[in-house]
Amino acid sequence: MNDAPGAEPGQPQAPAVGTAPASSPQPVPASGPRRSSRRRRLLVTSVALVGVSLVAGAGVLLVSGLPRSGGRVTPTTTASAGGTTSPAGAAEVDRKDVGLVPAGDYTVRIDASVFLLPIDLARQQAIRRRLAALPAVQQFAYESQSEAFRRYRVMFRNQPRRLRGVSLGTLPASFRVVLHDPRQFSELFRAFCPQLGPDGKPACVRGVEVVVDQHQVTWEGLAGPWLHATDAAVFLTSSVDPDQREVIGRDLEALAVVEQVDFESRAAALRRLQQQGVKDPLVLHDYAVDSFRVRLSEPKQFPELYGRLCSGRWSFSTQPVCKPGVGLVIANPRSVYYGLER
């Protein structure tokens, strides 16, 4: 999900699924874990997108929780395909496991999704223990197939083609994961998909279909024409007044780390979405908002940009507070979290 253009909000066209930006896994023989069908992979990607179409107006922040100085992430020990990590104690599992995913627009609160193949309860519990044992994992919650199906139907309520042939049993269950820092996605990925299959695609441990970087999904869904050119996007609330908008713009331009600020008005956003073929009136209402796209001279200093706008970070139990008029702040994971070229 690093470079492929994303789908328009409300009309996702299955962007590439996120892979670890760090070292590549090693190939495995043809007898490796079972691969899923192309249709199922498209459904998994669509489920990953659920929430991207539901986030407008929420005061959310996808930003590193580490100190601004940052630093390299220390890799965890990688498990072999089908193996297990040392089991976590009951107290550790209870501390990290928040149960079922909460109602509402939860997807922007998480850093990653671990999608599951059909498995029995024992295997599901083994994956749960592995999640709890990973130092990079702060919290995780389980989403059942029935809940995934409910959310899917809401997201594609105005797209009968996407609903056709999709039943409760065709959508995957998953674990939704909050990391201590978004840059630790590669550790989570390697823990569950440590090798490459004969087709060159990640081969995950038994019971895991794919591990998705939610930041990349969100960025590709919302960055628009600035997908490759900027490091951050600041979406304003639909109720922002001109004075608030001007103050936010001045604050962004005053930051020493900011190289360029582009503004898209609500009217321009509406025209762009309509030109892209978006027809759902609810999507147009939610996404046609004033916004800024920001290019940083040093992408790793994104937290400084964040500090001018919000404090705190989303998790299953915490919520950020943003200054009046700021609705959503997202980072380009490629440049901000992984240090790669835009």
Instruction: Read off the pLDDT of residues 20-74 as tens digits, 9 standing for 90 and up.
Output: 343 334 333 333 344 456 556 656 655 665 544 333 323 333 343 332 222 222 2
- 2 three-state secondary structure: coil
Q: How many CB atoms lie within 10 A of CB 118?
A: 11
| pLDDT value at residue 31 | 33
> Is residue 11 pLDDT above 80, yes or no?
no
Task: Quote the CA–CA distance of 53 and 283 in Å, as a whole number.
Answer: 7
**Taking a C-beta distance cutoff of 8 angstroms, is the pair 315, 137 a contact?**
no
Q: Outline which parts of the chain fall under CATH 3.30.70.3040.
A: 26-58+75-220, 224-336
Question: Tokens 């994992």 appear where?
Answer: 137
Angle between helical axes of 214-222 and 38-49 (0-180°, round to 10): 80
| pLDDT tens digits, one per residue of 174-201 | 999 999 999 999 999 999 999 988 888 8
Name, in order, each residue with C-beta under 8 angstroms of 243's C-beta and a sequence gap of 6 or more.
none
| pLDDT value at residue 35 | 46
Give, in order, the Cα–Cα distances in Å from 50 to each of 46, 147, 148, 187.
7, 11, 9, 24
Task: Quote the CA–CA distance of 192 and 185 in Å, as a whole number.
Answer: 11
| pLDDT tens digits, one per residue of 206-254 | 999 999 999 998 898 889 999 999 999 999 999 999 999 999 999 999 9
| pLDDT tens digits, one per residue of 252-278 | 999 999 999 999 999 999 999 999 888
> Is residue 78 pLDDT above 50, yes or no?
no
Domain 224-336 has what CATH class? alpha beta
| pLDDT value at residue 93 | 59
| pLDDT value at residue 46 | 59
Of the pLDDT bands very low, low, confident and very high (cuts 50, 70, 90), residue 4 is very low
The residue among 292 and 27 whose pLDDT is bigger is 292
Q: What is the pTM of this model?
A: 0.76
Task: Quote the CA–CA distance of 196 and 80 in Å, as a whole number.
Answer: 11
The fold of the 26-58+75-220 domain, in CATH, is Alpha-Beta Plaits (3.30.70)
The edge-to-edge listing of strands for the beta sheet with 291-296 is 60-61, 326-331, 232-236, 291-296, 258-264
| pLDDT tens digits, one per residue of 88-140 | 455 555 789 999 988 766 666 799 999 999 999 999 999 999 999 999 999 99
| pLDDT value at residue 171 | 86
The residue among 261 and 156 whose pLDDT is bigger is 261
Q: Rounded to a whole number, what is the largest CA-CA distance in the chain?
A: 62
Average pLDDT, the chain: 77
| pLDDT value at residue 43 | 63
